[in-house]
Structure 1
């Protein structure tokens, strides 16, 4: 694909994301004209304090959280598909998000953790965030260790699914033996939502995601080398262990952060990289990573709108209920296209 076509694809993706952002901010149970939104965002004042509150405190945090969560999950999925050499790898499918939920659940439902952190606001969320990152990292390390020993992408995928079920079973046991009054705090982690993120929490999410997404730019070229195998990458002077460590650490942080604040949002990290490769007709991470980030952000924002978070439906649905409609067809497409290629050989 030529440079002009690549630029056109990126321009289209940016326009798509901006269009969804505008719709999410202006449309809802209370419609707000775009001009009024612009006045609020530029600090020129709004016609009413209610309008300002709706835009700045209700809708804008949700939109920013959706942008960051979608971009983070998509970049994490792209890196995992390269590291595991598995087109079906992503934080949700391989159980990484489930590990993050388990880590968060231990802090939220744990006897000591909640008692110490319940009244500390953002500090409490930091405790949940750290536990979510640790849980995601633990599952990632187990999955990578099995991948190196077995080498079969299908086996790794099955093991990842089993790890996800195991983490989910442990969470269910914790829920069963926990005081019912504490269960509401855990509800968002199992369903996925960007509707309750506050500006204080966004400061943490933004800093973490900015650092790790910036790191992905540095990893783009080494990941390109890894597409042809670890030995080939080493022959080019790539420090394979460092790339593995940085990639796994970034995926764990991204998965842990997004899960701690937005819940376990599924299928975005799986679908976005494949859609990016299909649009750009390349596997170059220098293009795929930013394109995946834009597509992931668009998927989460569109899913949020469809799920009813902005007044489209009377009942708000979990994000996972909507993102599955994108992720499931992509899984089938990857499986069927891979089988067709094998039969053609």
Structure 2
């Protein structure tokens, strides 16, 4: 009798729990969909506002007509939107998305919440590689005097520099295994790369330093459509690749050995992830300069908002958040047209990245004390 009653109670409990789980799942899906919708609206709003604002303000309605292919009321407005402002906005969008996705992958591969292309010295390696080409050419300005071959040389050098630092950091991570040590080594590699760049600057003709000064501060303001083609194709390929790496990265969250037991080719995932991060860092650094803290802040904000570490949603959310951060930072840095001078993009993104670093450190310490 008691056994029968227990069976009935278990059946009733399961019937009650199933709708509850279903309701929780529906709420979860609705929350995630709503969050992605909000991020898309923020991104579209940032694009429109940044295109509209500048030294010559253009009404938002006129901007929307131009962007949607309708006839513009003024040919000047059309020229400003399509030729002067849209390339930098798209470049900032792609750079932010790429750096954020790269940061999310590095935090998983290195098992370090403070890993990102800038903190681990990857961006510094890209700067070093690109600086060798920029300072060694006869062109002056932000890639303006370089032909297509020289531009690809700058890009290739930036990718090579990023890959070199990344491989050194990964080798040390495998040998040491301590995330703090890896972080310190990455910072030291960044300092070493910066020291080499300073030495190159010391022995370089002063007329060639303006391109490097703009380069190291980070800027998307001078990106042209020709340069954007290289950025767009490279970033699109690597961002699509990150979608296929999402599931293997989820397995790596529990360790390489566990991922291997699930049939994941750990070496291949490491190679593809690191190669994609090197390409993304090199491409964005070559054309947009060093943009710091986006790759660190965006993944943590994505995980915090989504309340999950699932890369299938964290990676696209990080891309959207990174794009929004860069566009808003560009607006604050000078894209609003309210001032004649413009701030370095790095200075503005630091206001987002530095608090996130403090939050990660303090929350990690609080969890350790609670445990």
Task: After TM superposition, give the deviation of residue 189 of structure 1 in Å.
Answer: 1.9
Report the more deviating stretch, 199-208 or 53-62. Answer: 53-62
Q: Secondary structure at the match of 1:2?
A: helix
Kept after mapping to 1: 8 A contact 2:130/2:154: yes
- What residue ranges of structure 2 are gaps of 5+ in the alignment? 1-26
Which runs of no fewer than 5 residues in structure 1 stay unpaired? none
- With structure 1 as the length reference, what TM-score do the two structures score? 0.96
Which deviates more from structure 2 when the two are superposed, residues 288-297 or residues 183-192? 183-192
SS at match of 2:108: helix
Name 2:268's counterpart in structure 1.
242
Map of 2:362 onto structure 1 = 336
1:138-149 correspondence to structure 2 within 5 Å: 138-149=164-175
Tell me the distance in 2 between the aligned counterparts of 1:289 and 1:82. Answer: 11
Q: Distance in 2 between matches of 1:96 and 1:231?
A: 26
Cα 1:11–1:144 change in 2 (3 A) is: same
Residues 88-112 of structure 1: per-residue CA shift (max 9 Å, x gap):
0000000000000000011111269
User: Which stretch has the larger CA shift, 18-27 or 197-206?
Assistant: 18-27
Contact in 2 for aligned 1:223/1:285 (Cα 8 Å)? yes
Post-superposition offset of 1:173: 0.3
Give SS of 2:364's match: helix
Q: How many residues align?
A: 343
The match for 1:278 is: 304
Aligned to 2:324: 298
Secondary structure of the 2:334 match is coil
1:288 and 2:314 correspond: yes
Aligned CA distance change for structure 1 residues 161 and 315 (closer, same or farther; 3 Å): same
- 2:31 aligned with 1:12: no
SS in 1 for 2:223: coil
SS at match of 1:81: helix
Distance in 2, matches of 1:40 and 1:60, equals 11
Offset of residue 41 of structure 1: 2.5
- Structure showing greater radius of gyration is 2
Gap change, CA 1:118 and 1:300, over 3 Å in 2: closer
Do the aligned partners of 2:48 and 2:64 also contact (CA within 8 Å) in 1?
Answer: no
Please say which of residues 51-60 and 277-286 is displaced more in the overlay: 51-60
Q: Deviations over 1:115-172 (max 9, x none)?
A: xx98652322111000000000000000000000111101100000000000000000
1:230 is the counterpart of 2:230:
no
Select between 241-250 and 304-313 the one with higher mean Cα deviation. 304-313
In structure 2, the residue matched to 1:193 is 219
CA deviations on 1:6-56 (whole Å, 9 max, x unpaired) are 101111111111111111111222221222123323443323232122111
Residue in 2 aligned with 1:83?
A: 109
- In structure 2, C-alpha distance between the alignment counterparts of 1:194 and 1:275, rounded to whole Å: 23
Please point out which of 148, 155, 170 is paired with 1:122: 148
Match of 1:131 in 2: 157
- Does the 8 Å CA contact 1:14/1:294 hold for their aligned counterparts? yes
Which residue number corresponds to residue 98 of structure 1? 124
Are the equivalent residues in 1 in contact too, given 2:49–2:60 (CA < 8 A)? Answer: no
Residue 108 in 1 paired to residue 130 in 2? Answer: no
Residue 190 of structure 1 deviates from its aligned partner by 0.7
Match of 1:221 in 2: 247
